[in-house]
Amino acid sequence: MRAGSASGSGMATLTLSCRLAAHPDSRCWFVAWSPGGALLASCGGDRSVRVWGRQGESWVCRAVLDEGHQRTVRKVAWSLCGNYLASASFDATTCIWKKTPDGFECVTTLEGHENEVKSVAWSPSGSLLATCSRDKSVWIWEVDEEDEYECVSVLNSHTQDVKHVVWHPTQELLASASYDDTVKLYREEEDDWVCCTTLEGHESTVWGLAFDGAGRRLASCSDDRTVRIWSSDEQGEPGVACSSTEPSWKCICTLSGYHTRTIYDVAWCHLTGALATACGDDAIRIFEEEPLAEPQQPTFALMAHVPRAHAQDVNCVAWNPAEPGLLASCSDDGEVAFWKYQRPECC
């Protein structure tokens, strides 16, 4: 019998509310909430994308998108308006699905990567899409009002497989994580996209990234079993003449000693500030920043830990954007689970 809930330091709880066999006999690789929080998209090794909606206390499958890809679907992402879903696949393509009254329809297939596409993400402006691949490149696409996609940049900055891309919540700043142990940031400079910063520090593959709600901090998680928090120092260093307006990023906190295996994903709740991690030891952990710490030297406390959240590696965790405390997770066991995170009522 699997433990459904556990409290970490005796202060907060993470309780299971529903478990689905989302991608039976396969792995579930990723889950993503729609912008309004009403739907959850999942994708997996069975080459399909499924969309789940609430029905009473549980979740039911509202749509199955299974004609788009020839191989595993590794990531899905909702557009900002919630009308489109992008799916990134090992078949080297990215499909764009449009929501219709009957379900979803594939409107475009983006090609160009030489091999497995590992991630896809929509920019906060809604007009750009980023993809990354095992071919070590990050591609940026622009979409116009007629749903036409055009490649605006191919960035070869990483030296190895790029695992994940994520956009800053408000600015057109892109972050990527790679097997080369680094995180890179990109922005547009004079009509061309360039890599403006490289964050070094992790000792192994960086698997996941998450910006905080304000976009001032970035969390990264790695095969080195740590989570690092990076902060952009917008004021610049005192006493140093600043010729550029580039914010400089540096690591202000490292969470180590909590995870016993590779950390595959990290999610930062924009409503509560809680940090969730998905780990290869089958567990989900929730961290929160200590309120009295210095902003540039924060400390995070482990608030909840469910040691056997899934039967196998947890691949992804995602906070619902509208309902505080609602967390979705998925695993190599093919299942999707929904959790309720509750902080203590006092203080």
Partner 1 sequence: MPLAACSMAAAASKPDLFDGILMAEERFHGEGYQDGYAEGNRIGVTEGRIYGSLHGARIGSEVGCYLGFALTWQHLLHNCTGEKHSKKLKALESLVGMIQKFPYEDPTYDKLQEDLEKIRGKFKQVCSMLNTHPDFRIGLERSVLTF
Using the rule CB under 8 A, is 192 a contact of partner 1?
yes
DSSP state of 116: -
- With contact defined as beta carbons under 8 Å apart, do 189 and 174 qualify? no
Using the rule CB under 8 A, is 150 a contact of partner 1?
yes
- Residue for token pair 């593959």: 205
Smallest distance from partner 1 to CB 162, Å:
13
Per-residue x/- marks for partner 1, 118-147, CB under 8 A?
-------------------x-x--------
- Residue for token pair 């140093």: 240
Smallest distance from partner 1 to CB 192, Å:
8
Stretch that binds partner 1, among 32-40, 62-70, 84-92, 152-160 (CB under 8 A): 152-160
Smallest distance from partner 1 to CB 154, Å:
4
Per-residue x/- marks for partner 1, 266-295, CB under 8 A?
------------------------------
Smallest distance from partner 1 to CB 151, Å:
4
Residue 318 CB-density burial (10 A; 0-12 exposed, 13-18 middle, 19+ buried): buried
Q: Which is nearer to partner 1, 139 or 319 (CB)?
A: 139
- Cα separations (Å) of 344 from 158, 205, 206, 347? 43, 35, 32, 8
Residue from 153, 220, 231, 329 touching partner 1 (CB under 8 A): that is 153
Q: Which is nearer to partner 1, 60 or 154 (CB)?
A: 154
Q: Exposed e or buried b for every residue in 39-59, given b needs 16+ CB within 10 A?
A: bbbbbbbbbbbbbbeeeeeeb
Site for partner 1 in 62-121 (CB under 8 A): 111-112
* Residues in the chain, overall count: 347
The DSSP bridge pattern shows strands 149-155 and 162-167 to be unpaired
- With contact defined as beta carbons under 8 Å apart, do 186 and 224 qualify? no
Using the rule CB under 8 A, is 198 a contact of partner 1?
no
Residue from 156, 171, 204, 299 touching partner 1 (CB under 8 A): that is 156
Stretch that binds partner 1, among 22-30, 154-162, 204-212, 251-259 (CB under 8 A): 154-162
SS3 of 20-61: the string is ECCCCCCCEEEEEECCCCCEEEEEECCCCEEEEEEECCEEEE
Q: Which is nearer to partner 1, 193 or 211 (CB)?
A: 193
Closest CA to 82 of 144, 34, 146: 34
- Binding footprint of partner 1, residue count (CB under 8 A): 13
Using the rule CB under 8 A, is 154 a contact of partner 1?
yes
Q: Which residues bind partner 1 (CB under 8 A)?
A: 111-112, 137, 139, 150-157, 192
